[in-house]
């Protein structure tokens, strides 16, 4: 029976409707240039709410909805069900005019506005969450504005770039001329970055094909597979000026880990972070070696800090059924236990009008 179903699904793969990704109801409460701040509507089944908002920062080079993939595989949906007040930054798609967008704009000004808008009722304090490069950005922002961060959670987020991983070695190579790249293209084209990630695991597409054939009889697996493929192929380019800083300061100088990074003219020192810190690392992460992410706990000034180390890879360990049973509950408990107080009835003001203008 499974064999027949497998053949039927494989034969209809090209015409199979793609799952609707990023579908959890949300209101856009702020727009500025290309980015927007999403405020998710509370789940009806949530019996209580936690006071401190959670602000989610995805990576700059992938779309935000990896954290809100499809029902059952949506981190956002799970958090709402646990009574958290959830905000998420959608970085949008940079245009040619964004080649001069700086690291200061992104790490300081944009994130700062999101934090302030999310937390007018908690004195501007939020639980800040960052995934991958979003975690690096979150750590930088927390180091600049420690007073605004109730807790910091970093998932597979590189903090030191001095590792010997293939991506780090390639980026630090003298033959990688980041200046010429930015001068030629403005924004760094997403196909170039995607090719670099494929270089880390050349057999990935073959592995996915084998997995697809093996489990094509499973409709739930197939929908999840197609949703993740939709996200994985929906990449965006990297603003040129910000990319230059990213490579020269973080990769080549390891400035964040060494405490020499300056953002908006100020030192971004991880030692100034004194809030609770939660670092999540993955054993088989071929994009961010776990040691490069775990080191943050040695660098922050916090006394309350935890590390969760899990099996799995960079994406699957964050977006999967196993994550919904293991990692996601751990994150929710971490925030709930440091919330201060909770309310039995969900209270939410009327949706706010989006501020700013779409770029």
Q: Is 147 part of the annotated catalytic residue set?
A: no
Q: Which of these is catalytic: 85, 223, 285, 339?
A: 285
pLDDT in the model for residue 358: 36
pLDDT in the model for residue 181: 93
pLDDT in the model for residue 54: 97
Query: Tokens 């007073």 identify what position?
Result: 147
- 75: Cβ–Cβ under 8 A, 6 or more apart, which residues? 56, 67, 68, 318, 319, 323, 328
Q: Is 285 part of the annotated catalytic residue set?
A: yes
pLDDT in the model for residue 342: 40
Closest to 112 in 3D by CA, of 100, 97, 99, 128? 128
pLDDT in the model for residue 359: 34
Residues of the chain with pLDDT under 70: 1-17, 47-48, 121-123, 195-222, 340-359
Tell me how far apart the alpha carbons of residues 296 and 289 are, in angstroms, rounded to a whole number. 13
Tell me how far apart the alpha carbons of residues 263 and 106 are, in angstroms, rounded to a whole number. 10
Which token pair is 310? Answer: 């899990």
Residue 54 near residue 88, CB atoms below 8 Å? no
The three-state DSSP-derived secondary structure of 47-99 is: CCEECCCEEEECCCCECHHHHHCCCCCCHHHHHHHCCCCEEEEECCCCCHHHH
pLDDT in the model for residue 345: 37
* Residue-range domains of the chain with CATH: 2-343 (3.40.50.1820)
Alpha-carbon torsion, ordered 164, 310, 65, 117, to 10 deg = -90
Question: How many angstroms separate the Cα of 225 from the Cα of each of 2, 233, 281?
Answer: 18, 12, 23
Q: Is 314 part of the annotated catalytic residue set?
A: yes
**Residue 304: phi, psi to the nearest 5?**
-95, 100
Q: Where are the alpha helices (DSSP H) in the chain?
A: 2-11, 75-81, 103-104, 111-118, 133-144, 166-172, 178-185, 190-200, 204-215, 219-232, 240-245, 255-258, 290-294, 296-299, 321-325, 327-336
Which token pair is 58? Answer: 């995805």
Question: How many angstroms separate the Cα of 108 from the Cα of each of 23, 77, 275, 288, 347?
Answer: 29, 28, 18, 23, 30
pLDDT in the model for residue 163: 80
pLDDT in the model for residue 170: 79
Query: CA Rg, the chain, in Å?
Result: 20
Q: Is 265 exposed, middle or buried (0-12, 13-18, 19+ CB in 10 A)?
A: exposed
Q: Which of these is catalytic: 107, 132, 141, 339?
A: 132
Which token pair is 272? Answer: 């100034």
Residue 255 near residue 128, CB atoms below 8 Å? no
- pTM (predicted TM-score): 0.86
Q: Which of these is catalytic: 85, 127, 314, 339?
A: 314
Tell me how far apart the alpha carbons of residues 3 and 23 are, in angstroms, rounded to a whole number. 32
**Residue 15: phi, psi to the nearest 5?**
-105, 0
Q: Is 68 exposed, middle or buried (0-12, 13-18, 19+ CB in 10 A)?
A: buried
Tell me how far apart the alpha carbons of residues 234 and 230 are, in angstroms, rounded to a whole number. 6
Which token pair is 190? Answer: 């997403």
């Amino acid at each position: 029976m499974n064999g027949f179903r497998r053949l039927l699904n494989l034969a209809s793969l090209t015409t199979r409707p793609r799952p609707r990704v990023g579908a959890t109801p949300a209101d856009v409460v702020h727009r500025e240039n290309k980015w927007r701040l999403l405020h998710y509507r509370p789940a009806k089944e949530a019996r209580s709410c936690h006071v401190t908002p959670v602000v989610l920062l995805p990576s700059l080079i992938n779309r935000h909805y990896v954290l809100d993939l499809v029902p059952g595989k949506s981190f956002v949906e799970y958090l709402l069900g646990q009574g958290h007040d959830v905000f998420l930054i959608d970085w949008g798609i940079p245009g040619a005019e964004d080649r001069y967008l700086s690291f200061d704009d992104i790490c300081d000004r944009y994130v700062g506005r999101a934090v302030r808008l999310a937390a007018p009722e908690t004195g501007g304090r939020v639980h800040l969450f960052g995934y991958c490069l979003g975690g690096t950005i979150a750590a930088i922002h927390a180091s600049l504005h420690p007073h605004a961060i109730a807790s910091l959670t970093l998932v597979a987020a590189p903090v030191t770039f001095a590792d010997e991983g293939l991506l780090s070695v390639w980026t630090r190579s003298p033959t990688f001329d980041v200046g010429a790249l930015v001068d030629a293209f403005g924004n760094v084209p997403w196909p170039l970055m995607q090719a670099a990630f494929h270089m880390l695991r050349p057999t990935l597409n073959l592995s996915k094909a084998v997995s697809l054939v093996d489990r094509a009889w499973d409709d739930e697996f197939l929908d999840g597979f197609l949703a993740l493929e939709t996200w994985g192929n929906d990449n965006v380019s990297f603003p040129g000026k910000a990319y230059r800083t990213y490579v020269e300061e973080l990769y080549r100088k390891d400035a964040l880990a060494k405490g020499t990074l300056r953002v908006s003219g100020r030192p971004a020192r991880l030692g100034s972070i004194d809030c609770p810190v939660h670092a999540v690392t993955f054993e088989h992460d071929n994009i961010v070696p776990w040691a490069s992410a775990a080191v943050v706990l040695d660098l922050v000034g916090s006394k309350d800090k935890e590390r969760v180390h899990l099996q799995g890879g960079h994406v699957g360990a964050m977006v999967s059924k196993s994550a919904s049973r293991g990692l996601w509950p751990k994150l929710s408990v971490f925030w709930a236990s440091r919330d201060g107080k909770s309310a039995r009835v969900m209270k939410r003001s009327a949706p706010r009008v989006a501020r700013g203008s779409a770029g």
